[in-house]
Chains A and B, each alone.
Chain A
C-alpha cells in the first residue's frame, strides 16, 4: 500500500490493525480510547450508521451541505435565466398578450432546476468525498470483515498513523476486549 511506504520507520507490511466487536457500544468506547491514546489515522466500520462514531474517530467538517447549497443557488438562477433568455432574447414572441418577461410563469421551472442540480450534487458530492467507487480496499483482506455489512463492528488503526507501532497498537487493541485483532494486509 503506497500510504504505508510513504512513512519509513513504520511497519511496512500492514495497512493497519483491526479490532472486531459484537456491538456498537464497545466499538464507540474503543474509538474514544484510541483517540485519547493519540491515534489519528483510524477508521471504524459498521453495518449501519452509529451516532457519534464519526466524531469519536475525529471526523470534523462535512462538506456535503456547503456543496449542495451552492449547487442549489446556481441551479435556481440557471433555471430562471434559461426561461428569461428563451422568451426575451433568443426568440421573442407575443404570447397570450403577456409581456416577454412574464416572470411569474418562470417560477416552477426555476424551482425544479434548483432541486435537480442540488440533489445531483448531494449524491455525486457524497460519493466523491467518500472516494467511491473504490472496489478494492485493504480492509477487505480481513476474512471476518465480511460481517462488517451484517452484524459486526470494526475499528482499524492505520499504519500511516505517526503513533502506529505494530506491537504496541496490537497490545492497545487487545486490551479493549475485542472478539479479536487482525492484521490488515495492504
Chain B
C-alpha cells in the first residue's frame, strides 16, 4: 500500500442516517480502500463471525451430500412424496430459491433503469445472492426426478432415439427460463465485476493475488472508449434482464397455473408469483446485508437509507402478494366452481394443513404491516426479524400451494396426505448451507460492493455540492 492510502483509509465509518446513501468524508480513494479492504485484509483479520458462520454452513453442505447420496442410492421414495402428493419439498424449495434470486436481478436491472442511486451499494451483493440462490434452486428439478441420471433428456439434442423434448410442457419452459436466467445472471454479475477486479489487481499486496485478479480483470484499463461500450452493454443487459426476471417467475408459476389442479389452476399466478419473488428476495437481501455491514463496519456504505428503501419495497411487494391471496380466494368463491371452492375451504380450515395457511398469512401479510411505521423501519433488529419472518412466510406460501392443493383434488377416493421425512429436511437445510457457504466465500474473496459505481456516487455528490455552492 502507498502512504496516501494509509491516511485515507481511516475515515470514520459512521452511518450518515436515513437520507444519505454514503457516509461523510468519502472521496474516490476512501470508498475504494474501504471496500477493497474487506477483501485484501489479512486472512486472520476476517471477523470471527465469518468463520463461525462458514463452519455451520459447511456442516449443512455435508448434510446435503449425505442426503443426496441416500436419495440416489434408494430413490425419491426416501422423501415423503406419495400419491396423490407427488411433489413435495423439492418443488417448494425450488420455487422458494428461485424467488429469492429475483431480488438481485431486480436491484441491479430494474433499479438501474429507474436510476435509483441507492441500489449501488447493494447491487453487487444482491447479484451474488441471485447466483447462489439460482444454483440452489437449480439442484431441485434434477434431484426430484425419479431417474435423475436421465435429466439431460429434457434438453433438445439429437439422439439415437430421435426423440425430443415436448415443448408444450411448462417443465421445458422451466429448463429454458432457468438456464437462461442463470447464464444471464452470471454474465451480468461478472460484467459488473470487471472494473473492480482491475482495482483489486492494482491494489492487491502480493504478486499471486495481483496475478489472479489480473487474469480475471481481462486487462481492464478504464479507457473512455471501453467505458462507453461497457455502459451500453450494461444498460442493454439491464434492459433484457428486466423482462427476463419477470418471465422467469411467471414461467415457474405456469408449472402450477397450466395444470388443472384446483388451487393451481389460477390466472393470477404470474404477477403474484413475481411480486412474491421480489418480496422474498428483498427479505433475503436484508437478512444477509444487516449482519455483514455490521461485521465489516460498512454502515457508511450500506446506510439506513438502504435499509429503509428495502423495507419499503418489501412492504409494497408484500401488499401485492396480499392482494394476490385475496384475489385467489375471491375468484375461487366468485367462479362458483365446486372444486375450486373446495380447494380453498380445504386450504383454510378443512384439510390437515389449514394451520400452514394461517401462519403464512401471519408471516406474509400481518406482521410486515409493522413496516408502515418509520420507527420500525429505522430499527435494525426489527427489520431483520421481519425479514426472517417473511422468508419463512414465503416458503410456507409455496408449501400451501404445492402440497395442500395436491392432497385433495377431484376424486375424493384418492385424497391423501404428505409427511416430510428427515431426508426432505436435510436436503432443504443442505441447500441453505450451500447458499451461505458461497455467500461467505464471495464476501471474503470479491468486492461485495461495486467500487466503481460508488466512485460515481461520490462524483455525483461532489457535483451536487458544487451546484449548491453557487
Give A contacts to B, CB under 8 Å. Answer: 24, 31, 43-50, 53-54, 56-57, 59, 62-65, 68, 72, 79, 82-83, 86-87, 90-91, 93, 95-96, 98, 102, 105-106, 108-109, 111-113, 115-116, 118-120, 122-123, 125-127, 129-130, 132-137, 139-140, 145-151
Contact = CB atoms under 8 A, between A and B. Distances in A.
Given A50-B459, A64-B232, A151-B29, 19 more contacts: A46-B222, A48-B28, A50-B227, A53-B227, A65-B232, A68-B233, A68-B236, A87-B168, A91-B164, A109-B167, A109-B172, A112-B176, A115-B180, A118-B236, A118-B240, A119-B183, A122-B237, A147-B202, A150-B199
Nearest to A130: B226
B166 interface: yes
B443 to A, nearest CB: 21
B440 interface: no
Nearest to A59: B225
B219 A116 contact: no
A62 B173 contact: no
Given A130-B225, A148-B221, A151-B28, A49 B230 contact: yes
Nearest to B27: A151
Nearest to A45: B222
Contacts of B172: 109
A86 B165 contact: yes
Interface in B204-260: 214-215, 218-233, 236-237, 240-241, 243-244, 247, 251, 254
Interface of B is mostly: helix
B162 interface: yes
B218 A135 contact: yes
B319 to A, nearest CB: 28
Contacts of B32: 47, 150-151
Given A112-B180, A123-B187, A149-B195, A62 B229 contact: yes
Interface in B100-124: none
B180 A116 contact: yes
Contact of A111 (B179, B247, B453): B247
A105 B224 contact: no
Contacts, number: 201
Contact of B29 (A87, A132, A150): A150
Contacts of A83: 167
Contacts of A65: 232, 236
Contact of B176 (A44, A50, A113, A149): A113
5 contacts: A53-B224, A109-B176, A126-B230, A130-B223, A150-B203
Contacts of B371: none
Contact of A139 (B187, B199, B221): B221
Nearest to A85: B164
A54 to B, nearest CB: 4
Best-surrounded residue of A90, A102, A135 (most CB of chain B within 10 A): A135
A116 B183 contact: yes
B240 A136 contact: no
Contact of B198 (A62, A106, A120, A149): A149
Contacts of A126: 191, 229-230, 232-233
B154 to A, nearest CB: 12
A141 B205 CA distance: 18
A130 B229 contact: yes
B177 A123 contact: no
A48 B176 contact: no
A119 B235 CA distance: 11
Nearest to B258: A105
Contacts of B184: 115-116, 119
A115 B224 contact: no
B219 A137 contact: yes
Nearest to B185: A119
